[in-house]
Amino acid sequence: MYPRDLKYTKDHEWINIKNETGKIGITEYAQQQLGDVVFVELPKIGQAIKRGEQFGSIESAKAVSDLYSPVSGEVLNVNEALIENPELVNKSPHETWIISIKLTELDEVKDLFDSINYEALLK
């Protein structure tokens, strides 16, 4: 169920890393817990973020949840399609990225879950 090419956090974010950049989104589990997403708060491009720190939030009909960065880096881009269509997160959470970053601490990746360990965490 969880793509093998992604890395995961205990807070239910994922990151897809290519070279020194990564795209970050939320997992299928997270979107199921949230329900219908109605708003995504995005950070500013160029903003520095640290592993485990909040970089935005996601709001559903049920609740507002903070978004936490899996790794440290600098925001390169934000998915502006989520401003008008936040429900994209519900339709395909593992394909819908929220932000892309340039990683500044590559060794932090080793602390993330692979798909097998993330699925075990959910049980």
Please write the tens of the pLDDT for every residue from 84-103. Answer: 999 999 999 999 999 999 99
pLDDT value, residue 93: 97
pLDDT value, residue 1: 82
Categorize the per-residue pLDDT at 114 as very low, low, confident or very high, splitting at 50, 70 and 90.
very high
pLDDT value, residue 109: 96
Please write the tens of the pLDDT for every residue from 63-90. Answer: 999 999 999 999 999 999 999 999 999 9
- The whole-angstrom distance between residue 83's C-alpha and the CA centroid of its chain comes to 16
- Cα–Cα separations (whole angstroms), residue 78 to 15, 25, 104, 118: 14, 11, 18, 25
Largest CA distance in the chain: 37
Average pLDDT over residues 18-23: 96
Give the span between the Cα atoms of 93 and 32, in whole angstroms.
Answer: 10
- Fold annotation for 11-122: OB fold (Dihydrolipoamide Acetyltransferase, E2P) (2.40.50)
Give the span between the Cα atoms of 114 and 66, in whole angstroms.
Answer: 22
